[in-house]
Amino acid sequence: MPTAILILAEGAEEMETVISADVMRRAGIDVTIAGVEGTESVVCSRNVVIKPDTKLSEAVSKDYDVVVCPGGLKGAEHLAKSEAVGKLLKKQEAGGHLIACICAAPLALKSHGIGKGKKITSHPSVDSQLKDAGYTYSEDRVVVDGKLITSRGPGTTFEFALKIVELLCGKEKSDSLVAPMLVKM
């Protein structure tokens, strides 16, 4: 069974968090939601409260097939500042495993020196920061460059999560989730 860790920080975008975790779990991926600050409930960008499964400091001892970083500007800033997040992303990149960031979360890639020069996308509000950092920027809804998956924002979350499923479980599995969820692709 493929494994995923979704990193949850204060101010995360709740749609990107919940939809990503839900779609991956529907595909049979073992998803751990890890709180940057521990297991206390996290207040997301629109005041939805989510309780992590575990704390990031404990979860990082395991290996994962994908590390998922939801956006939300405040949440992304927390991911960018976290040493533990940086350590996990560097370990993931060095191991040749998937890293998936949506919305403003690619700021964490920039901050921790991940995927330099790769083709990425993000929420338009942070595109200039990523362009200035030397990434090849695209306005595509979901971008895959090697083991790096990026996406634009809340409205692209289903496509983002389904791309993660496709890369971990195959296109047939990803496609099988679309009709039951009534997702328009």
The secondary structure of 132-152 as a DSSP string is: HTT-EE---SEEEETTEEEE-
CA distances from 94 to 82, 120, 155, 167 (A): 18, 18, 31, 18
Is 97 among the residues known to form the active site?
no
Among 13, 112, 123, 166, the active-site one is 123
Among 44, 69, 101, 103, the active-site one is 103
- Residue with tokens 């968090």, as numbered in its chain: 17
E-assigned strands of 96-166?
98-102, 119-120, 136-137, 142-145, 148-151
97 contacts: CB under 8 Å, gap ≥ 6: 63, 64, 65, 66, 67, 147
Is 16 among the residues known to form the active site?
yes
In Å, how far from its chain's centre is CA 109? 11
Among 13, 14, 16, 93, the active-site one is 16
Is 112 among the residues known to form the active site?
no
> How far apart, in whole angstroms, are the C-alpha atoms of residue 7 and residue 34?
5
Tell me the β-bridge partners of 152: none
Residues noted as catalytic: 16, 103, 123
